[in-house]
Amino acid sequence: MSEIIPGLEGIVVSETRLSRVDGEAGRLTIGGFPIEELAPRAAYEEVLFLLCHDRLPSQAELAALRSDLRQRRVVPPVAIAAVQEAAERKLHPMDALRMGASLVSLNDSAPRDESRGANLSRGLSLVAAFPTLVATYWRALQGEQAVAPNPELDHAANYLYMLTGEAADAAAVRALETYLNTVIDHGLNASTFAARVIVSTRSDLTSAIVGAIGALKGPLHGGAPGPALDMVFEIQARSLRNTTDIKSEARAWAEQAIGRGDRLMGFGHRVYKVRDPRADVLNRAAADLFKNRDDRAIYEDARTVETEVLAALERAKPGRRIQTNVEFYTALVLHGIGLDTELFSPTFAIGRAGGWMAHVLEQIDEDRLIRPRAAYIGDFDREWVAMEGR
């Protein structure tokens, strides 16, 4: 029998030009750029272009991509109706996004065209549609009318505008842009792998991206930042109630949670055995965002919680090398921008959509069915027993 590698840990199944995750050195490279270099400077559309074309766009190319994405923000009415109904039924935001995303292909003018150009166009339609779907769902959940996309605004700014109906300030837009760039791609993470598996059967790009949304929803992948922030809020509340300092409350909370066998959200990673470099990029973005703000206590308290949780994990699980992951600082950045915790996972999807589409295009070029095997541990040679004899 062949060796079993549970969770496919450490298995390399394809080549990619899109990103490299070095889990021992704590380095992330996106399209050739260190994440620290790219994420805080680029516009989301520039990184999207980089992933699709393996180079940065010229000014004219960037303007053309932005204009193209703007045209694609208007989704079929049935997709709007689906996310609004999902909100009425209080469904999970990622379920709403999954439903809406699958209906975007009704706008496809050449649904049977499998050329690279047609797939690129399909991918861009999904990237452009995600903010519309999420914002429409969110406003319906609040009992508010949908806000039409703003053709004056670029991708990140338009998302914030569609959520609130007001133009966001420059600091919030920059922080969101940095966040979307930071999470746009990350090797063969579970959702990207799911997308590649689907399209490796020569299925279509939309099916692959809809499948990826489902994979991202889980709390071990894209569902972690909401609970990570709730943890900080709970520790703050306890410290207020018990008139203790955050540090000792965080230590006690972490020890109890680990003692119960809980997973602490925002910590640990399958590949990174040192600090996730995305956590540092987002820490800097959060520090900039909260600088001089009245509510900066949440940022300071979160840093104290992080230190205490890491220390508690090291005491309880020595040698496991559990470090802060991207989700911990995602929570702070997205909270600082003013997003509710319910929006954290779908906002991750808005960023990751660019990576998903680029990986799907790469997989289509590779054209190799992904099909691992399982070791059978059931019985053999059972004899059929007719119903009356069971």
The residues annotated as belonging to the active site are 269, 327
The four Cα atoms 266, 185, 21, 182 give a dihedral, to 10 degrees, of -60
Q: Bin 257: left if φ > 0, else alpha if -120 < ψ < 50, else beta.
A: alpha
Task: Please give the single-letter amino acid code of residue 161.
Answer: Y
User: 141 or 332: whose CB is closer to ligand ACO?
Assistant: 332
Phi, psi of 303 (to 5 degrees): -65, -40
Query: Where in 1-40 is the site for ligand ACO (CB under 6 A)?
Result: none
The nearest distance, CB 327 to ligand ACO, in angstroms, is 5
Query: Where in 236-265 is the site for ligand ACO (CB under 6 A)?
Result: 258, 263-265
Q: Does 128 bind ligand ACO (CB under 6 A)?
A: no
Q: Does 320 bind ligand ACO (CB under 6 A)?
A: yes
Report the distance separating Cα 58 and Cα 302, nearest Å: 40
The nearest distance, CB 290 to ligand ACO, in angstroms, is 22
Please report which residue ranges of the chain form alpha helices under DSSP H. Answer: 35-38, 44-53, 59-71, 77-88, 93-103, 116-141, 155-164, 170-182, 190-200, 205-216, 225-241, 246-260, 277-290, 297-316, 326-337, 344-366
The one among 38, 224, 281, 282 contacting ligand ACO by CB under 6 A = 224
Nearest position to ligand ACO, beta carbon: 268
Q: Does 317 bind ligand ACO (CB under 6 A)?
A: yes
Helices 155-164 and 44-53 meet at what angle, rounded to 10? 130
Report the distance separating Cα 304 and Cα 239, nearest Å: 13
The nearest distance, CB 212 to ligand ACO, in angstroms, is 13
User: 221 or 303: whose CB is closer to ligand ACO?
Assistant: 221
Decide: residue 291, CB within 10 A, 0-12 exposed, 13-18 middle, 19+ buried.
exposed
The nearest distance, CB 203 to ligand ACO, in angstroms, is 24
Task: Please give the single-letter amino acid code of residue 80.
Answer: I
User: 100 or 223: whose CB is closer to ligand ACO?
Assistant: 223
Q: Which stretch binds ligand ACO (CB under 6 A): 19-27, 202-210, 219-227, 291-299?
A: 219-227
The nearest distance, CB 271 to ligand ACO, in angstroms, is 8
Q: Which residues of the chain form contacts with ligand ACO (CB under 6 A)?
A: 220-221, 224, 258, 263-270, 317, 320, 322, 325-327
